Structure 1
Amino acid sequence: MERLRLCWLRQHRSCSRAASLARAAAVVALRQPTLPSNPLIKALFSFQVWVSNTKITKCAEMLAGKAHIPLLTMIPTASRLSTYSMAIMDGKRTRITKEDLCDHDWEFRFTIAAPEYWRNLDPSWKHTGPPMRRYFHPDGYHSADPHDAVWGGHECTYTIITSFAGDGQIRDHYVRINRWPPMKVSRKEDWSWELSNHLYRYNSVPDGNKGCTGPLFPVW
């Protein structure tokens, strides 16, 4: 046990010294725009650059293949470590906001439990075309593409319902359109959203070239 304790102390001191060296290199870099000639300072500077590039690489690896990149990763005053941590927490967030709804296009599909009449109007069920699209607007309006066979041109509004228990934990959270069955909110591994009930489901379309989306501030 004593040997393990000594080993831990050595590793801790090494990490602390490495962090101190990195800070020293950062100071040198700020004071001297060109690469320093002193071998020791040059090594410190290179170490700082390696640490910085490693963080950038880790963040890029994490975001690769994600359907949505959180907008809060663009906060200019946040450190790379805090940006990395906030991105992970936001990717696991299941409390949806109006920004999440409005920033994305949504694919609409019926489930097997829906009546056959409605499923026959769904081109993705008949394999005659892509899923239908739905859109959420900041004013609470909900719309579809023109000539959508299911839509029918009726007026639609949406509401996000969130209730809390006595300890502040979320007890119930769902999205409801008009007075139709509520849709529970879930998140997939690629950070995309799904709204679903027993009759139909909505899936957020990957952002592509849209850029970062969602709320600017953390919503855990």
Structure 2
Amino acid sequence: MVDRSRIGIMGHSRGGWHVAYALAFSDFPFAAAIDDDAIDSGYVEATMLSWADTERRNGADPFGVGMKDWLERAPAFNVEHIRTPLLMTVTDSFAGKAAPVVMHWEMFSRLRHLRKPVELYVIPNIERGSHVLQNPSQVLAHQERAMDWWRYWLLDERDSSEEKREQYADWDKLRELRDQDAKQPKPPRLRWTVEPVASEAGP
């Protein structure tokens, strides 16, 4: 039997986009989630990775009437609906550049602004990272963080290691944010208009 109150969801790369989409557009009460080196269909991703791919996912380009599709379809523009504790991990270095961290920052900063339970975890030695991790020490660090996250949110367990006290103190604060958010009414889902504004007559 599956305990409905202890179900988590995880995705890597494009699969992480599906995670973000499920959190933003589904009412299923996931207990925790991990969004691993993922895309979010926001502005920053489009400018730094691929306009064409982002436009395909959102259904249009983000100008004129196409902006309506972005506002209604992109997880990055619908974070107010996310209530699940979310661990966002960054592993790719893009040949030592900071691009992956910046790409994640758009969605992360919006969630933080709304006081949502979210953490951004950058893999140690990110300059040697990769989209599919190869470095054994990085693989271990990544898997350990993920397992700690699942155990904390799904099983109410924590590692007693002294070096992880700060990690769990941060997660306890996220739990408080989750509980506070759960008491708030759910925000409405919006449909945006593309009706042109009537131009004002000149003098």
TM class by smaller structure = under 0.3
The structure in which a higher percent of residues are helix is 2
Computing the radius of gyration from Cα coordinates, the structure with the larger value is 1
Q: Give the structure-2-normalised TM-score.
A: 0.22
Higher relative contact order (CA 8 A, sep 6+): 1
